[in-house]
Homo-oligomer: A and B are copies of this chain.
Amino acid sequence: MGRSTRGGLRGVRMVGAAMSKFGKMDRSMREEAAQTGLAALNRSGLDPAVVEEILVANAFGLVDHQGHLGPLIATSLGLEGAATATVESACASGGVALQLAYTSVASGHTDATLVVGVEKVSQVDSKTATTYFTYGSDVPFEAGCGATFPALYATLATAYLHKYGATEEQLAHVAVKNHKNALANPNAHLHKAISVEQVLKSPYVAWPLKFYDCCPFSDGAAAVLLVSEALAKAWGVGGVEVLGSGRGGSAAQLSTRASLVEIPGTRQAAAQAFSQAGLRPKDVDFAEVHDCFTIAEVLAIEDLGLVKKGKGAEAAVDGLTSLSGDLPVNPSGGLKAKGHPVGATGVGQAVEVFEQLDGRAGARQVKGAEVGLSHNIGATGGSCAVHVFRRV
């Protein structure tokens, strides 16, 4: 990745962040996206006119008959001169848009890029929403054969439990932890404490994954403002440093992968982000990772290098990844309980990192957090994005 030129990149700061309450969106997608973008701009304290580019992360707008969201959102914000684009990488749309925005600012192409993720699926029934989600798979070879995402992740879970002797009970602890964290997040979709027993007794969706191993369908919007370090300093604002911004990919179909107990794209994106940041996994104080299913959090923390391979399922059990543990994972509640409004998900992770590193996460504050990581994947990891942030 052209590392020799890294030195030529400018420092990038995240100086504003905001999200809607995830769950059910009453406003139209464009209204919610614009209001959330405005809230992020207001939070930054910068004049909105500094924004030169707006990248919109959205997966399903076109299915609901509205594409080309960028100019609509820009116009709503009074920024109709801004260059825009919609970025779609299935459930990684937000993280991928964030990475492209980082490159825009780091390269000097813009001084300020606003990233707005937005999704609304509640206007359709849950069967239709499930169908929308399958468009992120290799449709003729996966969804078309009945392999929806619960089935695909169940395949990964089966391989994992078999190889490492992990248990359904261990996976249940991931769900319990993330639901508990979400209780302290006013913007989370689900505010419901659950027990390991409840998870284990919930109906199977695709063995070994049960109802409570799966994240909900959510509506929502999230926005972050990235600016050059120079612009942040000129405006006298601190914010959060974006130290590393990486992306990676994996073979589209699970059936062609060499291993079912790792996501190659996560490893690649993490290697890139850590190398760029000049940090190692052990430097991370907390992480927001892609836990669309409980097994996904387990694989994520292993592939990110935060725990050893095969040790991820124990992490929620022994408290390592709890809010008071040595390595809090998904303090926001994660996709599992904060919610998963596809295009907004990866941007929402960055919002949580911002709140944590800004010390404003309230009852879910990770104590002494200096370095945070976000990890967002599309489908079963066909697209992956990893970001490393540090408090200024």
Q: Which residues of A contact B (CB under 8 A)?
A: 1-6, 8-10, 52-53, 59-60, 62-63, 65-68, 70-72, 74-75, 80-90, 96-97, 99-100, 103-111, 135-139, 228, 247-253, 256, 264-265, 268-269, 378-379, 382-384
Contacts and interface: CB of A to CB of B under 8 A. Distances in A.
Given A65-B135, A71-B250, A71-B383, A2 B85 contact: no
Given A72-B252, A80-B264, 18 more contacts: A1-B108, A1-B109, A2-B105, A6-B108, A62-B63, A68-B137, A71-B138, A71-B249, A72-B138, A75-B256, A80-B256, A81-B248, A83-B96, A83-B247, A83-B383, A85-B100, A86-B87, A100-B100
B63 A63 contact: yes
B72 A247 contact: no
A382 B63 contact: no
A251 B103 contact: no
Contact of A52 (B1, B52, B53): B1
A320 B66 CA distance: 39
B80 A251 contact: yes
Contacts of A247: 53, 83
Q: Is the interface of A mostly helix, strand, loop or mixed?
A: mixed
Contact of A75 (B106, B137, B252, B268): B252
A103 B9 CA distance: 11
A6 B378 CA distance: 33
Max chain B Cβ within 10 angstroms of own Cβ: one of A68, A84, A100, A251 = A68
Contacts of A109: 1-2, 103, 106-107
Nearest to A55: B100
Contacts of A52: 1
A67 B59 contact: yes
A108 B100 CA distance: 13
B72 A108 contact: no
A294 B21 CA distance: 46
B86 A89 contact: yes
A2 to B, nearest CB: 4
